[in-house]
Structure 1
């Protein structure tokens, strides 16, 4: 059957002060439709049965994970003892799934991305699930770029997968986040797509590639699932995670795998990676976007949010102003990438506010 894995790890420090150590980005309501993770699960449920939707997150995030709110069985919330990036997280989830469904196909998606057209997203994902089952290959979703973004990795397509097809291609290579000049060149060639971080594959194939490319991860998880049922499971898992490397699916597997497929996609995707990208998703350049008790006078192109008290801004253009609890952030919109560094400094100087 088809299954979905929602990857809900990560800290989202670029969204300080709303995102804190105690509440990561994926548990915030940034777009007005509910928390990012709830919105992600809602997009999946019309396509995948609720009993086949799995969330993998850190133990520290357990207070924010409600099976009732997510609409999935409590046993489908998988808690990692500590963060080890996406490759071990998906390996853990895939092992749980495969123990119940040996023929499972998994679609892995980040918990904190936004999609404007959910129906189109499900249509593309459905195609990917069928393709992965039929071909036994990794299938990725590449977002057709509309501007030379420097904040995303890219996927370069190769030849069409099948004579005359223009809807599926072999992947030629994955690239790192480019500089602006390179991103402009990528856009001109029309061969590059933004890497959405969403991939689809048979659970057994994923396990095989983990064994081939990441033997320590495979070895440790084998011990967890082999050495006796539920009794002592958490202790075994904790020991296993302590010995695992921290590595992403991209670095650990996809960049080493051959024959990966990419489906060009356009469903209004945004990784909501910074306050700037949130502003673009909600309103776009030149418009003000506000949340909470906010008063603006002679302002343009700004994002202003307050969850406590009134925030008033006069005569500002292209700024981000965030009032969250006991902290305030003010910065030019085009420097919102630097919030991660500020969050790290806050952690050093004022740990209670991090």
Structure 2
């Protein structure tokens, strides 16, 4: 079974090298540095330089080496906060992770870390504690986060947080 998986991974990597050569080069640089003392720094540096294209568009729509198999299963694109929220614990009608207290609040998704996040009298919000940044946004703006991140990258005052 491992041999079959590795063969599939080789095909995938060759297709990435063909269709997304810059991404492939950066991922190989990351891979080669993983067991070194500089692994963490190299990973962060290279990852920040990768273009924001999904493999769906960059590889799968171009390759002739992929197959589509009809099947019946539930699909969830976990590339959004809304999708990730479905994997969180339910606390009084809110989806929460981390140290969270929710009172008179509904339909919120809270991604906490070490600090206590208190939600009081709020509705339809996403709250993310990312350590040095706290994001608070309307759940309905979930698809627009990429635009916001790009704006933050362009600002000298906020680019260090992205």
TM-score by length of 2: 0.61
Greater relative contact order (CA < 8 Å, ≥ 6 in sequence): 1
- Size of the alignment, in residue pairs? 131
Choose from 88, 93, 104 the match for 1:298: 104
Where 2:140 maps in the other structure, the secondary structure is helix
Unaligned regions of 5+ residues in structure 1, if any? 10-55, 67-78, 88-196, 198-246
Is the alpha carbon distance of 1:62 and 1:351 closer, same or farther for their aligned partners in structure 2, counting shifts above 3 Å? farther
Q: 1:249 aligns with which of 59, 64, 86?
A: 59
Name the Cα RMSD after superposition.
3.9
Larger radius of gyration between Structure 1 and Structure 2:
1
Residue 29 of structure 2 is matched in structure 1 by 59
Distance 1:299 1:62, change over 3 A: farther
Which residue of structure 2 aligns with residue 32 of structure 1? Answer: none
Partner residue, 2:160: 352
Give me the whole-angstrom Cα distance separating, in 2, the residues matched to 1:86 and 1:331.
24
Residue 59 of structure 1, CA deviation: 3.1
CA offset at residue 295 of structure 1?
A: 1.5
Within 5 Å, give how 1:258-269 maps onto structure 2: 260-266=67-73, 268-269=74-75
Moved over 4 A (4+): 60-63, 82-87
Residue 329 in 1 paired to residue 135 in 2? Answer: yes
Provide, for residues 138-177 of structure 1, a one-character-per-residue CA deviation record: whole Å limited to 9, x for no partner. Answer: xxxxxxxxxxxxxxxxxxxxxxxxxxxxxxxxxxxxxxxx
- The TM-score with structure 1 as length reference comes to 0.31
Q: Which runs of no fewer than 5 residues in structure 2 stay unpaired?
A: 17-25, 36-45
Alignment of 1:95-174 (within 5 A): none
**Counterpart for residue 308 of structure 1:** 114
1:279 counterpart = 2:85 = yes
